[in-house]
Structure 1
Amino acid sequence: MIQTTYLTLDAEKAEALGAFHTAKEIAGQPELWQQVFSQVAKDKGSIHAFLKPIFEKGNARIILTGAGSSAFIGESAQGTVQQMTGVHTQAIATTDVVTHPELFFLGDVPTLLVSFARSGNSPESVEAVKLADEHCKEIYHLIITCNPDGELAAYANDCEGNCFALVLPEGSNDNSLAMTGSFTSMLLAILLVAGIDQLGQLKEQFENAVETANSMLHHDLDKFEEVAKLDFKRVIFLGSGTMLGVARECHLKLQELTDGQVVCKHDSFLGFRHGPRAVANEDSIVVYLFSKDTHVARYETDLAKSIGQDKRKIKTLSFAADNTDGYHSILDLPAVGANEKAIFNVLPATMVGQLLGFYKCLQLGLHPDNPSVSGAISRVVQGVTIYRKEK
């Protein structure tokens, strides 16, 4: 009998530890990404036909929106989407849109609202779409979701002409509380949509990211386990540009999976110097999500060297570093074939937070599939009442 293993756990042990879904979903991401790439390539014609008239308007605007982790997809993707499409792009969380729509929507500007949603049932996600319809004279919706039966998918199916739903493969709809495959697959989807006419040129970069992820899964899991055994109370994730959104997602993932027992923070490399560096101490790990842009890397390396000179010998962990000499590094994770155009590096970089969170969760005696002991957080947010503003 062949024993199925997910990460470093066989299926039976994973079930016993309440870790089966999370382990399977983290481990399944490289294969899931291949499915997403194939799906977008297959739908290239219809995606292009939907977007082309919007982008040709000349004064269009793209808003990337979602709640929680889904909002962080937009934060990571916004710069790349703007660069690849030439269209002004902003990431605005649905949790901000719902309370202050008048601050974010411009009524006379043609707007493409890109909604990211694992379930498509979060109250804020549904309300943000309705508010966009009310506040924008010319509104278009691109809904990227993992659930064909969610409210957002149903909304796209019912609207006429100005909506396009990209429902990702079934495996993207995580069963676990923490978003893992859903996050990276939706992030990949918007990057591919933004480069819909360049999929052939993007394929090699994409395959490098898949190889990087597979390398982590095949060679580094025992190292993540060893890191998780260390006694640390804080973890700070640093990233620049597109990696800043990933740093925020990593910080949430580790904090969620440890039920808040490990307090996390995220920042940019340069921003960290301006006060936030005070949180880094002997009980901390600083995680560097390095850029492969040589110009950006100069700023990042300067900070890493500075922290490396701290007399407290603060522990660090690095993704895509060229050299970690003097960093007090406890784990170095290389990026395969990465260069300045490695836009898909955000995918394996996200797994750093996922894997660190998964193994620290187990080390703390929690259940990764549902780590919230108090029930304060849930797979789909609970307790949010939507209020309509009086006119």
Structure 2
Amino acid sequence: MKTAAPETTVADSVHDPSVPQGAAHTYREIRQQPRLWADMATRLTEQRDSLDAFLAPLLAEPRLRIVLTGAGTSAYAGQIARSALARATGRTVVALATTDITADPGACFEESDRPTLLVSFARSGNSPESLAATRIADQLLDRCAHLVITCNADGSLAARHEGRADSYVLLTPPESEDQGFAMTSSLTCMLLGALRALGGDHVRGLDGCPAAAASLLSGDVTDRVAELTGRGADRFVYLGSGALHALAGESALKLLELTGGAVTSLSDSSLGFRHGPKAFLTERTAVVVYVSNDPYTRQYDLDIFREMSAALPGGHVVAVAARPDGLPADRTWLVDGMAGADDAALALPAVLCAQLVALNASLACGVRPDNPFPDGEVNRVVQGVTIHPLPTR
């Protein structure tokens, strides 16, 4: 397996002529992920005893409901992790966006008497909905504990829950609080934190993620990404099943964000795409199919890959997969070392492919990926949200 390229600091990125102006933060934050994941694993090992002391009484509850929540990219973290954590814990696990909890709390928390662990993903911890969701849960639920996974020790969410008996604040490495516009290393460190904290050894493949990501970054996938984005596609489709369907959603969002909307993107499940969204296709569409490691689910991903390959010009359709069987080598971006991984673990190195596509497409459009919205119409931490008081119960 190839070794990773030397670690790049933000200072190196700023002065490196190979890193385009306006991309230094995003470039560094994509490439630092293998190192930060190793750091995150060490943090979980060091906190295992205190974390288990907090979680064990909750997980012993047969009626426990685990709610994974966040907004935007943070919501996708919960969706990617959901099924793996349900299998690992043997408890009901749902993924609900903080935006849904805030806007329609009654529908999200219908069973007010059910013991609940609210797992909040938050890069800054200062988004209005992140704060509102934990407050709403406390108001509506008879018994609610909180696992806050955040990149910002000084954020409002961490401050609100630090020191509470019913809360545990799990911090990711400080460098994971991305300074670029889009969430890259913040997403993956928080996702890894949830999978390790709640899933532990029951989630297959987590130990192999850093090496798999390092291999992607130092291998020929970077050249293949450049080739795909250089074909002039003005719209992208990301497809996948299960946890990789959620990864497809995050991938489409990343492209939309980093290109400032200049490249249109769409995501769907491998089966769902045919039910109307397929109308999105034109001759200038590129398609990325995430291929599941599950033998049964994989069949549907391979089917849609073949169908899209026949429908679009050569080179416009690629697969991201951990196993090469059933796929053409020249159109497969292989994630080495992850053939036995759960799809939620595979998503960690696989998302780097989407991040690199978004970075390259942004630069090709003449957009600065560190700040694709210089006029402030879209912001790194959401603005303009009014949180309305809940009606009395």
Give the TM-score of the pair, scaled to structure 1: 0.92
Question: Identity of aligned pairs, percent?
Answer: 37
CA deviation string 1:61-95 (max 9, x = no partner)? 01000111101111111111111001101000000
4+ aligned runs moved over 6 Å, structure 1: none
Structure 2 partner of 1:104:
108
Structure 2 partner of 1:332:
333
Shift of 1:5: 5.0
Amino acid of the structure 1 residue aligned with 2:305: A
CA deviation string 1:32-53 (max 9, x = no partner)? 0000111111111111111111
Structure 2 partner of 1:243:
244
Q: Report if aligned partners of 1:71, 1:93 keep a CA contact under 8 Å in 2.
A: yes
- Which of 163, 168, 178 is the equivalent residue of 1:164? 168
After TM superposition, the structure 1 = structure 2 runs for residues 269-284 of structure 1, keeping only pairs within 5 Å, are: 269-284=270-285
Structure 2 partner of 1:322:
324
CA deviation string 1:183-226 (max 9, x = no partner)? 00001111101223x28x85xx2242222211111012233223
Structure 2 partner of 1:152:
157
Q: Aligned pair in 2 of structure 1 residues 146, 14: CA closer, same or farther (>3 Å)?
A: farther
Amino acid of the structure 1 residue aligned with 2:279: A
Amino acid of the structure 2 residue aligned with 1:308: S
Structure 2 partner of 1:53:
57
Give the TM-score of the pair, scaled to structure 2: 0.91
Q: Report if aligned partners of 2:84, 2:199 keep a CA contact under 8 Å in 1.
A: no
- Which of 170, 177, 183 is the equivalent residue of 2:187? 183
Structure 2 partner of 1:216:
216
Q: Aligned pair in 2 of structure 1 residues 40, 5: CA closer, same or farther (>3 Å)?
A: closer
For the pair 1:138 / 2:139, whether they are aligned, the reply is: no
- Residue-pair matches, total: 382
Unpaired stretches in structure 1, ≥5 consecutive residues: none
Structure 1 partner of 2:292:
291
Q: Report if aligned partners of 1:293, 1:340 keep a CA contact under 8 Å in 2.
A: no
Unpaired stretches in structure 2, ≥5 consecutive residues: 1-5
Q: Report if aligned partners of 1:234, 1:285 keep a CA contact under 8 Å in 2.
A: yes
Q: Aligned pair in 2 of structure 1 residues 389, 311: CA closer, same or farther (>3 Å)?
A: closer
Shift of 1:100: 0.8
Q: Report if aligned partners of 2:335, 2:349 keep a CA contact under 8 Å in 1.
A: no
Shift of 1:374: 3.4
Three-state SS of the structure 1 residue aligned to 2:237 is strand
Distance across 2 between alignment mates of 1:337 and 1:353: 17
Three-state SS of the structure 2 residue aligned to 1:309 is helix
Amino acid of the structure 2 residue aligned with 1:179: M
Structure 2 partner of 1:41:
45
CA deviation string 1:283-324 (max 9, x = no partner)? 111101111111111111112122222275571121115256
Distance across 2 between alignment mates of 1:14 and 1:181: 21
Distance across 2 between alignment mates of 1:97 and 1:154: 21
Q: Report if aligned partners of 1:289, 1:318 keep a CA contact under 8 Å in 2.
A: yes
Distance across 1 between alignment mates of 2:370 and 2:105: 34
Q: Report if aligned partners of 1:64, 1:114 keep a CA contact under 8 Å in 2.
A: yes
Amino acid of the structure 1 residue aligned with 2:136: L
Q: Report if aligned partners of 1:239, 1:289 keep a CA contact under 8 Å in 2.
A: yes
Distance across 2 between alignment mates of 1:331 and 1:304: 10
Structure 1 partner of 2:21:
17
Structure 2 partner of 1:306:
307
For the pair 1:62 / 2:63, whether they are aligned, the reply is: no
Q: Report if aligned partners of 2:148, 2:170 keep a CA contact under 8 Å in 1.
A: yes
Q: Aligned pair in 2 of structure 1 residues 134, 113: CA closer, same or farther (>3 Å)?
A: same
Query: What is the root-mean-square deviation of aligned Cα atoms in Å?
Result: 2.2
Q: Aligned pair in 2 of structure 1 residues 227, 314: CA closer, same or farther (>3 Å)?
A: closer
